[in-house]
């Protein structure tokens, strides 16, 4: 997945453009810039790549999720439905706005189970946030129709699925708003960065203003701009945008490498009868950033994960036992360990997490292994890795 692996001359050239004129900020300083607007150029590229009318570049993927929710008016006391398997950024963003994360089970797509989503909808539900984990996607038609039926927003976190598609549409462009991360380990990187994409002009203008202290960005005198509403600083710098601008032009190259490496590994693992793969919804095409497979039991998955580590097969994760991506290890959320007081609404709204169990999610995450697909591998390296993985798994089964 990581675009940083192929950092090179194109990235250096874009960064040097910025260093030469010295304008590191994305807004203003028109005279000094000699025509270099890296953030604006990258936003235009994002609109083309992800086929949406608007794109707002921001400082991180976490910021993008926060801004997407804020731009659509999600705030204090609102409930946002999200999956048990995701990155901590999902609940961080929801809680930053005073809203309440409602965690629900995943299915074999490794994201939201539509049935669990529908069961979790209440009069307080404002949005459903689907997280397109590990290069693939949820059942978007089913999720969209639930959202339409209950008149709630569909927010798409496509941070881990840059370049995947569903029924011909780029992931991120399907919901009311889509979010991307360009942090250091994502498919394309800015170093740190993110983006919100949408076809809704109001949401876009809200995102543009909100991410820069509420500035209206009218005219060319920053000091004279008004603040139609309160905002925050989630701006990206020109240096970061410059790296992303070089990287997005290389996205087709990155995606084809991912697909090639993924296919070699998948074909090899497919020869083992006990290994099954995550479900990709009909009409979906993965970004191939990860290869996800299931083993018959939790214990076998634990042994395989251990076997991979012992034999130098790096970049494979058993998220059931890992702190990053799964509810089981998020004690800081369950115990509400906050540096500052949390509102009573959020405290009460999250009390369910103290006792709630997610056996259906455990059933999938417990048996799942997720392997990162690297861009820098040679074909021989991928083949050697594939045989080693097969050998380790067969030795355990």
Ligand X SMILES: *Cc1c(COP(=O)(O)O)cnc(C)c1O
By CB under 6 A, name the binding residues for ligand X: 60-62, 86-87, 89, 131, 157, 159-160, 181, 183, 194
Select 87 or 364, whichever has its Cβ closest to ligand X. Answer: 87
Going by their DSSP bridges, the two strands 316-317 and 177-181 should be labelled as unpaired
Q: Give bridge partners of residue 129 from the DSSP assignment.
A: 155
Select 17 or 212, whichever has its Cβ closest to ligand X. Answer: 212
Give the Cα separation of 280 and 183 in Å (integer): 25
The catalytic position among 38, 126, 186, 374 is 186
Other Cβ atoms less than 10 A from the Cβ of 23: the count is 21
Q: Look up tokens 């570049």; give the residue.
A: 57
Select 11 or 157, whichever has its Cβ closest to ligand X. Answer: 157
Residue 123 sits at φ, ψ, to 5 deg, of: -70, -15
Find out whether 26 and 39 touch, Cβ atoms under 8 Å. Answer: yes
Token output for 15: 């960064």
Residue 325 sits at φ, ψ, to 5 deg, of: -120, 0
Give the Cα separation of 127 and 175 in Å (integer): 11
CB of 154 to ligand X, least distance (A): 16
Q: Nearest residue by C-beta to ligand X?
A: 61
CB of 168 to ligand X, least distance (A): 23
Q: Give bridge partners of residue 198 from the DSSP assignment.
A: 54
Active site residue 356: no
Give the Cα separation of 350 and 77 in Å (integer): 11
CB of 347 to ligand X, least distance (A): 24
CB of 63 to ligand X, least distance (A): 7
Select 187 or 302, whichever has its Cβ closest to ligand X. Answer: 187
CB of 9 to ligand X, least distance (A): 25
Select 61 or 138, whichever has its Cβ closest to ligand X. Answer: 61
Write out the catalytic residue numbers.
186
């Amino acid at each position: 997945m990581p675009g940083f692996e192929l950092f090179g001359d194109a990235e250096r050239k874009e960064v040097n453009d910025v260093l030469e004129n010295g304008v590191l900020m994305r807004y203003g300083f028109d005279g000094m810039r000699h025509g270099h607007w890296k953030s604006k150029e990258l936003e235009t590229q994002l609109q083309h790549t992800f086929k949406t009318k608007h794109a707002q570049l921001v400082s991180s993927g976490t910021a993008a999720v926060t801004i997407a929710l804020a731009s659509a008016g999600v705030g204090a006391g609102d409930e946002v439905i999200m999956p048990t398997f995701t990155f901590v950024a999902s609940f961080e963003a929801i809680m930053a706005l005073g809203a309440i994360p409602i965690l629900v089970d995943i299915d074999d797509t490794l994201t939201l189970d539509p049935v669990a989503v529908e069961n979790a909808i209440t009069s307080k539900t404002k949005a459903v946030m689907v997280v397109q984990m590990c290069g693939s996607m949820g059942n978007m038609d089913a999720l969209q129709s639930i959202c339409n039926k209950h008149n709630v927003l569909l927010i798409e976190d496509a941070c881990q699925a840059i370049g995947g598609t569903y029924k011909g549409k780029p992931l991120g462009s399907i919901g009311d708003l889509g979010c991307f991360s360009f942090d250091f380990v994502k498919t394309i990187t800015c170093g740190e960065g993110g983006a919100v994409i949408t076809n809704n002009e109001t949401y876009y203008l809200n995102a543009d203003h909100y991410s820069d202290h509420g500035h209206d960005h009218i005219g060319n005198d920053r000091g004279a701009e008004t603040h139609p509403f309160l905002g925050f600083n989630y701006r990206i710098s020109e240096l970061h945008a410059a790296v992303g601008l070089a990287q997005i032009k290389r996205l087709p190259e990155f995606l084809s490498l991912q697909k090639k490496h993924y296919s070699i590994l998948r074909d090899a693992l497919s020869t083992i009868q006990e290994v099954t793969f995550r479900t990709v919804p009909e009409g979906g095409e993965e970004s191939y950033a990860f290869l996800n497979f299931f083993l018959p039991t939790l214990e076998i998955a634990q042994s395989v994960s251990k076997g991979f580590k012992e034999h130098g097969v790096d970049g494979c994760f058993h998220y059931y036992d890992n702190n990053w991506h799964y509810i089981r290890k998020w004690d800081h959320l369950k115990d509400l360990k906050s540096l500052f007081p949390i509102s009573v609404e959020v405290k009460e709204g999250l009390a369910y997490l103290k006792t709630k169990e997610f056996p259906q999610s455990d059933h999938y995450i417990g048996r799942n292994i997720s392997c990162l697909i690297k861009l820098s591998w040679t074909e021989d390296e991928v083949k050697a890795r594939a045989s080693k993985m097969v050998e380790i798994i067969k030795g355990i089964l």
